[in-house]
């Protein structure tokens, strides 16, 4: 599937009409016109120069979505809601954004539970075929995109709304059983609970990527995306993948500060975190079963860093007026010398899409690099980008970042030695 002679790299976004994808697309186009800086992109910093990432201008975008609409219209909507995409500059790249619409195909909401199914067009959720029929259709879309644009490879990235937790039956663990289960019509029950073999949409997309020979990045906590059986299939196929759940806000700060308490032998008694947000993502998360996936992924960080489990709570509430301008209040109660109790509070006011979009671009470039270097399986060096990095125990942001730097150093060394 790899056309190595091409310098173009495809980026296939699951959820291509969502807020995050739209922000990413508007941003790439505006950076290309030098109307905004490359702020937020780690792969554009001096420390990461000299590594053979694909150029930003060589990325070509397409994707799946379960909703209708046009990228430009979503961008205007975002401007109206939060002002994060500048209206005056948006006009300049209107035509470039319009072209992308032609590369967005209808996705699937299969087995995603009612909170997500409500968002999609009827066609996206009323599917009569087997799961494998879906995988085939989705993969065909991806490969057609590659062919249409003569792309060296395509990096598939899941940006779709958080699904409820996935089932963990035998079919999730064994590649043969997994392949067999795809041949059924296994469906989640009406309340969104999934039987072991009723794989959710995110898993179907990932299977389509694997079948097409494309790397896969799961930027969401939809744990269904990468059951062990599918991880094994990626490994067998010689393909790199990574996830789960981009680390963009409260958890990012948490993983940056928590080590400080360890360095000072200050005992964390309680760490309460309250997130409020209001976009489509927030609406899906206001559904208790979808929220659980998110909270699981956010709450595991502390015990791993501190070495003990303090009293914790991670709350996520839907506040529609905020749209994507997430606000989080964290209260950390800790104990020091003489067993005296003190407190650190922080308030994080960040736009999720603004924080996530450059990470997605960084991840795409790292995945393209890994494919070229013929790495396969989980890209563990990318742990610092994820709340719940596959195959990595280290949750300390600083430790994770130094692992990334070490990888970059090696990558640079290899390039030099080849030259």
By beta-carbon proximity to a copy of itself, the closer residue of 1 and 270 is: 270
Q: Which of 3, 33, 57, 87 binds a copy of itself (CB under 8 A)?
A: 87
Strands 240-242 and 216-218: parallel
398: contact with a copy of itself by CB under 8 A: yes
Residue 345 phi/psi, 5° resolution? -120, 145
DSSP state of 279: S
Q: How many residues bind a copy of itself (CB under 8 A)?
A: 78
Asked if 213 contacts 1 with a C-beta cutoff of 8 angstroms, the reply is yes
Handedness of CA 318, 321, 323, 329 (dihedral sign): negative
By beta-carbon proximity to a copy of itself, the closer residue of 22 and 111 is: 22
By beta-carbon proximity to a copy of itself, the closer residue of 78 and 210 is: 78
Binding mask 347-386 for a copy of itself (x = CB under 8 A): xxxxx--xx-xxx------------------------x--
Q: Which of 11, 21, 25, 42 binds a copy of itself (CB under 8 A)?
A: 42
246: contact with a copy of itself by CB under 8 A: no
311: contact with a copy of itself by CB under 8 A: yes
Tally of CA atoms within 13 A in the half-sphere of 67 that contains its CB: 17
Residue 212 CB, shortest distance to a copy of itself, in Å, is 29
What is the rounded (10 degree) CA torsion for 363, 367, 44, 22? -50
CA dist 398 and 305 (Å) reads: 11
Residues 6+ away with beta carbon under 8 Å from 152: 2, 3, 4, 5, 6, 7, 8, 9, 368
Each as own residue / partner, the long-range contacts of residues 339-347 (CB below 8 Å, 24 or more positions apart, any chain) are 341/269, 344/257, 346/253, 346/257
State how far Cα 58 lies from the chain centre. 21
Asked if 244 contacts 220 with a C-beta cutoff of 8 angstroms, the reply is yes
286: contact with a copy of itself by CB under 8 A: no
By beta-carbon proximity to a copy of itself, the closer residue of 3 and 39 is: 39
Residue range at the interface with a copy of itself (CB under 8 A); choices 39-47, 128-136, 149-157, 291-299: 39-47
Binding mask 147-176 for a copy of itself (x = CB under 8 A): ------------------------------
By beta-carbon proximity to a copy of itself, the closer residue of 258 and 371 is: 258
32: contact with a copy of itself by CB under 8 A: no
340: contact with a copy of itself by CB under 8 A: yes
Residue 359 CB, shortest distance to a copy of itself, in Å, is 8
Distances 84 to 26, 228, 355, 359, 360 between C-alpha atoms, Å: 10, 38, 11, 17, 17
Within positions 58 to 77, which residues make up the interface with a copy of itself, using CB under 8 A?
76
3-state secondary structure of 130: coil
Residue range at the interface with a copy of itself (CB under 8 A); choices 29-37, 52-60, 206-214, 220-228: 29-37
94: contact with a copy of itself by CB under 8 A: no
Residue range at the interface with a copy of itself (CB under 8 A); choices 50-58, 179-187, 200-208, 392-400: 392-400
> DSSP H helical segments within 269-419, as ranges?
280-285, 288-299, 301-306, 352-372, 397-418
Residue range at the interface with a copy of itself (CB under 8 A); choices 99-107, 128-136, 182-190, 317-325: 317-325
Residue 406 CB, shortest distance to a copy of itself, in Å, is 13
By beta-carbon proximity to a copy of itself, the closer residue of 187 and 270 is: 270
DSSP state of 199: -
By beta-carbon proximity to a copy of itself, the closer residue of 145 and 385 is: 385
Q: List the beta strands (DSSP E) in 86-239.
A: 104-106, 153-158, 216-218
Each as own residue / partner, the long-range contacts of residues 136-141 (CB below 8 Å, 24 or more positions apart, any chain) are 136/208, 136/211, 138/64, 138/107, 138/108, 138/204, 138/205, 138/208, 139/208, 139/209, 139/211, 139/212, 141/64, 141/105
Residue 388 CB, shortest distance to a copy of itself, in Å, is 18
120: contact with a copy of itself by CB under 8 A: no
Q: Which of 9, 22, 84, 244 binds a copy of itself (CB under 8 A)?
A: 84
Within positions 177 to 236, which residues make up the interface with a copy of itself, using CB under 8 A?
none
3-state secondary structure of 13: strand
């Amino acid at each position: 599937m790899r056309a190595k002679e091409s310098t173009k790299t495809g980026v296939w976004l699951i959820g291509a009409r969502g807020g995050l994808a739209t922000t990413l697309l508007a941003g790439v186009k505006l950076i290309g016109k030098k109307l905004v800086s490359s702020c937020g992109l780690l792969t554009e910093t001096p420390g990461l120069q000299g590594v053979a990432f694909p150029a930003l201008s060589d990325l070509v975008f397409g994707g799946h979505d379960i909703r209708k609409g046009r990228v430009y219209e979503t961008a205007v909507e975002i401007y109206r809601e939060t002002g994060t995409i500048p209206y005056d500059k948006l006009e300049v790249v209107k035509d470039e954004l319009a072209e992308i619409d032609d590369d967005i195909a209808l996705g699937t909401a299969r087995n995603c539970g009612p909170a997500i199914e409500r968002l999609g067009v009827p066609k996206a959720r009323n599917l009569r075929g087997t799961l494998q029929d879906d995988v085939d259709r989705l993969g065909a879309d991806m490969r057609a995109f590659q062919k249409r644009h003569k792309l060296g490879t395509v990096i598939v990235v899941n940006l779709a709304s958080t699904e409820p937790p996935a089932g963990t039956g035998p079919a999730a663990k064994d590649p043969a059983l997994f392949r067999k289960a795809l041949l059924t019509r296994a469906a989640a029950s009406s309340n969104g609970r999934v039987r072991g073999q009723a794989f959710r949409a995110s898993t179907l997309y990932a299977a389509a990527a694997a079948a097409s020979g494309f790397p896969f990045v799961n930027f969401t906590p939809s744990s269904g995306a990468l059951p062990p059986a599918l991880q094994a299939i990626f490994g067998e196929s010689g393909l790199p993948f990574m996830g789960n759940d981009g680390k963009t806000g409260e958890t990012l700060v948490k993983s940056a500060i928590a080590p400080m308490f360890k360095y000072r032998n200050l005992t964390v008694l309680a760490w309460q975190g309250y997130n409020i947000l209001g976009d489509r993502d927030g609406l899906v998360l206001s559904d208790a079963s979808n929220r659980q996936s998110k909270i699981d992924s956010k709450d595991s960080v502390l015990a791993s860093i501190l070495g003990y489990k303090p009293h914790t709570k991670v709350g996520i509430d839907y506040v529609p007026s905020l749209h994507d301008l997430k606000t989080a209040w964290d209260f950390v109660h800790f104990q020091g010398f003489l067993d005296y109790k003190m407190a650190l509070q922080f308030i994080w006011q960040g736009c999720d899409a603004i924080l996530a979009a450059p990470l997605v671009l960084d991840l795409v470039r790292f995945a393209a690099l890994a494919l070229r270097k013929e790495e396969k399986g989980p890209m563990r060096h990318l742990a610092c980008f994820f709340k719940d990095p596959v195959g990595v125990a280290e949750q300390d942001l600083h430790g994770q970042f130094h692992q990334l730097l070490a990888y970059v150093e090696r990558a640079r060394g290899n390039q030099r030695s080849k030259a």
